[in-house]
Amino acid sequence: MTELSNPIPSKPPRSQWLDVWDQFKSHRGALMGGILFLLIVATVYLGPFFWDIDATHIDIRARNQGPSWAHPFGTDQLGRDMLARMMAGGSTSVSVGLTAMMLALFLGSFIGVVAGFFKRLDGPLMRLTDLFLALPLLPLLLVMMLLFREPLNAAFGPEQGIFILIVCAIGITSWMPTARIVRGDVLAIKEREFVLAARSIGTADNKLITRHILPNVLSPIMVSATLGIATAIITESSLSFLGLGFPPDFPTWGRLLFDATDYLQQHPERVFWPGIAISLTVLSVNYLGDGLRDALDPRIRGR
């Protein structure tokens, strides 16, 4: 028996997440993206507490003003403060993005895990995924907006109804990539020894999935979560821009941009604020996803 060369470890043990964080920190774009995204989220949710002009307050004497101390982003054609509208619009856009992403993620992971784990369901579920991928999504989203707007508005009120509709529509049309990636990973992990060991001590299927398989497919799920936020925000803005999203007096970034295009010649800056907000949010989320992918991949980590 050989003795250990150094019986006392010189460094304290490190958790996996500490390693991930170290790798993430070294990706400068990702770190900046993460900080920027947190900043944007904090501004749109906490901003209204500090900037207490109501986004729907109409001051017709102060309409079409340029930037000033009273209105840093100027005012719109009805004299509503653009900064307040941007924050109100941002909280809707970001909420839609986050909720739709979670719905898509839940559906995608569920279908992916079930398809990967239970061989009998693999074929039908993957055919279903292929079918959904073959659907023309933007036209279908537009059609769904047209069809279900009235009944949902009647049931939940105009704002709540359209929120539910947009979140559900985006959620059920964007789960497919997640499902495919998760299924692939589950198929690979299912054959590993630790799963066999867990099964041999009599672990039930549901425990096997939640305790052993899900933690191991967490990294692709997290990466597709970040990308999901980005696509959801862009899709919501596109719908609002095409005039089939939120109602006119209920600002979102896409809606603000759409309204501002009518005043493009006189007040081009009104197009810039929402446009830059959408682009910056999506850009920061994309960089965040890029960095997460690197940080969560143990083959790249530590290099």
Would you tell me which residues interact with other proteins (CB under 8 A)? 130-131, 133-140, 142-144, 146-148, 150, 230, 234, 237-238, 241-244, 254, 257-258, 261, 264-265, 268, 271-272, 275, 278-280, 282-283, 286-287, 290
Which pair of structure tokens corresponds to residue 295? 């940080």
d(CA 222, CA 28): 19
Query: Rounded to the nearest 5 degrees, what angle is found at the Cα of 168, between the Cα atoms of 223 and 100?
Result: 25
If one counts every other C-beta atom within 10 angstroms of the C-beta of residue 138, the result is 12
Element (H, E) at 171: helix 158-172
Whole-number minimum distance, CB 290 to other proteins, in Å? 8
- CB 147, min distance to other proteins, A: 5
Q: How far is CA 48 from the centre of its chain?
A: 22
Beta bridge partners of 81: 75
Q: What is the dihedral of CA 38, 40, 44, 50, to 10 degrees?
A: 90
Nearest residue (CB) to other proteins, 157 versus 243: 243
- Taking each helix axis as running N to C, give the angle between helix 218-241 and helix 137-156, from 0 to 180 degrees, rounded to the nearest 10: 80
Q: Minimum CB separation from other proteins for residue 285, in Å?
A: 8
Tell me if 76 sits within 8 A of 59, measured CB to CB.
no
Tokens of 115: 């398809």
Would you state the structure tokens that stand for residue 248, as one six-digit string? 């006119």
Q: Which one, 151 or 215, has the nearer CB to other proteins? A: 151
Which residues are CB-contacts of 226 (< 8 A; sequence separation ≥ 6)? 285, 286, 288, 289, 292
Give min distance, CB of 173 to other proteins, in A. 12
Nearest approach, Cβ of residue 229 and other proteins (Å): 12
Minimum CB distance to other proteins, residue 296 (Å): 18
